[in-house]
Amino acid sequence: MLQKRSPILETDFQGLLRILTDGGVEFILIGGVAAAAHGSPRVTHDLDVVYKRTDENISRLVRVLEPLGPYLRGAPPGLPFHWETETIERGLNFTLTTSLGSLDLLGEVTGGGFFADLMPHTVVVKLHGIDCFCLDLDLLIKVKRAAGRPKDFEAIAELEAILEEQVKIEGQNNASSQS
């Protein structure tokens, strides 16, 4: 099936999160949305998630995203792309455009590994009324550093300041609870 795409200017984060969670897809938020969940004021234009690479989860992922017409972001119009289980199984990381905006599906993330490697380093956050697993600040900083992009280095300083403030607050809370 040949598809022609027009650029998506805004991503419906709530819509994408709702479709993934309601469809039972197992995923972890990373990237700009994860940074925002931890208090970063930076603007992001895509939803970055690490998905669990089991047969069942890949099937759910294909099923729930299919109505959104996923297509490779940045690919020339008309490039044949088939959104199906075999595509995900044969690939690993996909930068997609959908009818709800940009979605990066990562089977593995540099500096962090696969879903199972990341899961012990997550916190549950509520975004748009939806509970989601999100990388904790320590590992989010580590994977941004490993990515090595200039925009990530800018975000790292900000995330480290947020982490320092959290540690400071936790220290004050611990001191007052011991009094």
Report the Cα 68 to chain-centroid distance in Å.
Answer: 17
Question: Which band of pLDDT confidence, cut at 50, 70 and 90, is reported for residue 82?
Answer: very high
Assigned domain for 21 exists: yes
38 contacts 140 by C-beta, under 8 angstroms:
yes
Q: What is the model's pLDDT at position 114?
A: 98
Per the structure, the complete domain to which residue 49 belongs is given by 13-178
Mean pLDDT of the chain: 90
Q: What is the model's pLDDT at position 6?
A: 45
State percent of the chain over pLDDT 70: 94
115 contacts 51 by C-beta, under 8 angstroms:
yes
- What span, in angstroms and rounded, lies between the C-alpha atoms of 39 and 35? 7
Tokens representing 131 are: 């509970």
Tokens representing 57 are: 């989860």
Q: Where are the alpha helices (DSSP H) in 30-136?
A: 31-37, 55-65, 85-90, 115-118
Q: Where are the alpha helices (DSSP H) in 2-136?
A: 13-22, 31-37, 55-65, 85-90, 115-118
Q: What is the model's pLDDT at position 2?
A: 41
- What span, in angstroms and rounded, lies between the C-alpha atoms of 81 and 71? 7
Report the Cα 44 to chain-centroid distance in Å.
Answer: 11
Question: Which band of pLDDT confidence, cut at 50, 70 and 90, is reported for residue 4?
Answer: very low
Total domain count, the chain: 1
Give the CATH number, domain containing residue 53: 3.30.460.40
pLDDT tens digits, 158-179? 888 888 888 777 777 777 777 6
Return the residue matching tokens 């697993």: 133
Assigned domain for 6 exists: no
End-to-end CA distance of the chain: 68
Assigned domain for 17 exists: yes
Q: What is the model's pLDDT at position 3?
A: 46
